[in-house]
Structure 1
Amino acid sequence: MKRAGTAMVVAGLAVVGLVGCDSGESTSKGATTTAKPVLWNPCTEISDAVLSEAGVDPATEEKGVAGVPQSGWEICGWMAPKYGLTVYTSAKSLAEFEAKPGNVDFTDVTVAGRPGRKFKVAGDSRNLICDVVFATQGGVVQLEVMNRASLDGLEEPCVYLNNAASALVPTFPR
């Protein structure tokens, strides 16, 4: 009976960790660190139906960057025949995002009825990438479309982004 009670406590702690109610970590000096904010996760929050409506294949889901998680980010990407689509979330502010080296040429846009900031990534000389970032109460959500470099005769990547956005943007946190 003691083992069953222990298993239930361990299971309960695992659930608490999954929903982000961690109260912090003790350090070697006995102080408690602040818990990390729980980010909106595009891999779990965007349905397969919405992904299909956005023109990407839900079965191609890839978490992180090339499958590697990135600290402070939730990242999920999917493939379409002509492009890849990635959704990023971070607790960083829009100002911090705009100050990041390599993010350039910010302009105000409205995508799927929501204000955002379109930008370029320095070095995208072939114009393969379209990025829009949206401010949220908890940070930012970034939507990125990257054309497949191996294909010719593709639409400008922001055309694909705008088409996909009509399905995706309403699912993003405010």
Structure 2
Amino acid sequence: MNRGKRGTVVLGRPMTTAAFAVAVCGLAVTGCSTTSASGVDMRTTPNSVSKSAQLDSPEARTALWNPCNIPNAAMGQTDLEIDSEEPDVVGMLPLEGARTCGWSAGTYDFVIYSTTLSPSDVHRNPHFRDFAGGTVGTKPVVKFRDDLVAKNQASCTAAFATYQGEIFMSVVTAPSTKPPKEDACVTLERTASSLVSALPK
């Protein structure tokens, strides 16, 4: 499944960093690193190089909430294929140190990023645009789009605050010469709403 501009393997099939993601912001956590693969530095904390290395360590990543722990019962309420689950996928958002998990629904991919980012980290990224407040189920979120996907794809990401930092949920549609049957943000909201009870507080 090819989902973007930069080639990586996601969900067991060819895919790019234009895959997906999800999220925005709440608790500011010092020392978080968000240097993008394109060279965009989203960090504002001092000693960012050493802190980036700390966040990207196996120990730091293991300490984050694991999106793959969402129960199959919750996943079964979505269009996602449970057997397509792939830990540590490389999605659209170039977030160093993030713990990720991805799934496929055939016409779109869905990725959750577990991070220590703050709201300001996300809003400063020049690739993210069209920010809008909203809700997914009962959770207040910030939705946004990006310029990382290919022209024949669409994406939408929602972010919300947790005890550790921001959780990102992202949808990227499969490449197509025809417009998707529904807006990517509608797909995201419909999919994520079924998972709200399994997400961290």
2:138 partner letter: G
State how far apart, in whole Å, the 1-side matches of 2:64 and 2:130 are.
27
Structure 2: runs of 5 or more not aligned: 1-53
State how far apart, in whole Å, the 1-side matches of 2:170 and 2:124 are.
18
Identify the structure with bigger relative contact order (alpha carbons < 8 Å, sequence gap 6+).
2
TM-score (norm. length: structure 1): 0.70
Percent identity at matched positions?
Answer: 31
Q: CA deviation at 1:147?
A: 1.1
From 142, 150, 156, the equivalent of 2:183 is: 156
- Pairing of 1:34-49 with structure 2 (within 5 A): 36=60, 38-43=63-68, 45-49=69-73
State how far apart, in whole Å, the 2-side matches of 1:57 and 1:129 are.
19
State how far apart, in whole Å, the 2-side matches of 1:81 and 1:130 are.
17
Q: CA deviation at 1:172?
A: 1.3
Q: Is 1:59–2:59 an aligned residue pair?
A: no
Structure 1: runs of 5 or more not aligned: 1-32
Q: CA deviation at 1:36?
A: 3.1
State how far apart, in whole Å, the 1-side matches of 2:78 and 2:65 are.
19
Q: Is 1:144–2:170 an aligned residue pair?
A: yes
1:61 partner letter: E
State how far apart, in whole Å, the 2-side matches of 1:71 and 1:64 are.
12
Partner of 1:8: none
- Pairing of 1:43-122 with structure 2 (within 5 A): 43=68, 45-66=69-90, 71-122=96-147
Distance 1:123 1:85, change over 3 A: closer
- Give the secondary structure class of the aligned counterpart of 1:87: strand
State how far apart, in whole Å, the 2-side matches of 1:62 and 1:92 are.
22
Q: Give the count of matched residue pairs.
A: 140
- Give the secondary structure class of the aligned counterpart of 1:53: coil
State how far apart, in whole Å, the 2-side matches of 1:63 and 1:80 are.
16
Partner of 1:27: none
Q: CA deviation at 1:164?
A: 1.0
Q: CA deviation at 1:101?
A: 3.2
Q: Is 1:167–2:194 an aligned residue pair?
A: yes
Q: CA deviation at 1:89?
A: 0.9
State how far apart, in whole Å, the 1-side matches of 2:153 and 2:169 are.
16
